[in-house]
Amino acid sequence: MAPAKKATDVYFTLNNGNKIPALGLGTVPSDDPADVKDQVVTAIKAGFRLIDTAWYYGTEKYVGEAIKQVIAEGIVKREDLFITTKVWPSFWHNPEKSLDQSLETLGLDYVDLLLQHWPICLHGDENGQPTQPKDEEGNLKYDDDPATGTKFIDVYHTLEDILDNTSKTKAIGVSNYSIPKLKQLLPKIKKHVPAANQIEYHPQLPQQDLVDLCTEHKIIVECYSPVGGPGAPVLKLPLVQELAKKYDTSVNEIVDAYQILNGRVALPRSSNLQRIASITGLPELTKEELDELYQIGAKNPTRYTNDPWGYGIGFRWWQGDDKSKSFE
């Protein structure tokens, strides 16, 4: 029998008291960004309430159109939804302008969560362009050294000001914060501890020490790439397949349950509408099974996101990153 429990019924409480759904739909486009509209409509009709987007993804327009449609059809009200967007590091010098652009593109008055996308400062113009500034040798151009700079903390302070002085977001948080970056930020916070830290997370990359630090400070962990991104490598793990068979469910629901049953938000994405509509079940994995899944990555950690803008920010197992050695 397929899972009787629904992942879409589970909510966690953020450190500001607001509720966050445990399952959200990611909106990085796999091909045409316009396809995201149907993906979001399908997800909301299937019970998803959290939609994760970003200024950088180029999909906010289609997320906005989808929201408008489901509200017009009477499926949800705005307050039933939890919308996240993010400030990209080339817009680091003006997060409020970035948020204003996001809100306008989304057609919304507020988001539920505004994240600092990365703890780095890239050299963008007054509109955050280009998003991946490069020098003549093709290296990323920074306004602050990614390993030693502290301007990323100023960016977080600006997010705090937006939260305090406007009604444009209900909560603020961070993304891609490693242990060293969180430890630099936490003592400098003015008032608002990040509500969430969105990081790559799946059974092959458990990062328990980072999760423990987040838990200690009541920071919800949001898991991106829950199946390991394109090619879905995590779904090929024999244990994941075995559990899917045992619980008569999909491999996707097994890896999302691994996060949700451990108190973390899972953020899958798919260009396949049928898949989106069919991944809302919550198989009730046992404690032993959750631990077995954990052991896969604890023994042999594998990271699938190895973008060059992640170099120097203190993560382990980041292929090509020689700059984080200073944190070891």
Ligand X SMILES: NC(=O)c1ccc[n+]([C@@H]2O[C@H](COP(=O)([O-])OP(=O)(O)OC[C@H]3O[C@@H](n4cnc5c(N)ncnc54)[C@H](OP(=O)(O)O)[C@@H]3O)[C@@H](O)[C@H]2O)c1
Q: Where are the alpha helices (DSSP H) in 86-178?
A: 95-106, 151-165
Question: What residue has token string 């809100």?
Answer: 103
Binder of ligand X out of 105, 225, 249, 280 (CB under 6 A): 225
Provide the strand spans (E) within the chain.
11-13, 19-21, 24-26, 50-52, 82-87, 113-116, 172-175, 196-200, 220-224, 265-267
| Cα 247 to Cα 284: distance, rounded to the nearest angstrom | 8
Residue nearer to ligand X on the CB measure, 169 or 225: 225
Render the burial of 110-125: b for 16+ CB within 10 Å, e for the rest: ebbbbbbbbbbbbbbe
What is the spatial distance between Cα 313 and Cα 326, in angstroms, rounded to a whole number? 10
Respond yes or no: is residue 57 known to be catalytic.
Answer: yes
- Hey, which residues does 19 pair with through a beta bridge? 13
Tokens matching residue 152: 């990323």
Site for ligand X in 240-299 (CB under 6 A): 251-252, 267-272, 275
# residues near ligand X by CB under 6 A: 28
Among 224, 247, 311, 315, binds ligand X (CB under 6 A): 224
Q: Is there binding between residue 232 and ligand X (CB under 6 A)? A: yes
Query: Which region, judged by CB under 6 A, interacts with ligand X, from 21-29, 127-135, 180-188, 282-290?
Result: 21-29
Residue in the block written with tokens 């993560």: 315
Which one of 228, 281, 283, 297 is in contact with ligand X (CB under 6 A)? 228
Considering only residues 103 through 122, tell me which ones interact with ligand X, judged by CB under 6 A.
Answer: 117
Residue 82 touching ligand X (CB under 6 A): no
Binding ligand X by CB under 6 A: which of 13, 129, 141, 230?
Answer: 230
Q: CA 223, CA 264: separation in Å to the nearest integer?
A: 7
Choosing from 56, 57, 142, 258, which is the catalytic residue? 57
235 binds ligand X (CB under 6 A): yes
Of residues 27, 116, 197, 204, which one binds ligand X by CB under 6 A?
27
Q: Which positions touch ligand X (CB under 6 A)?
A: 26-28, 30, 52, 117, 175-176, 198, 224-230, 232, 235, 251-252, 267-272, 275, 305
Residues with catalytic function: 57
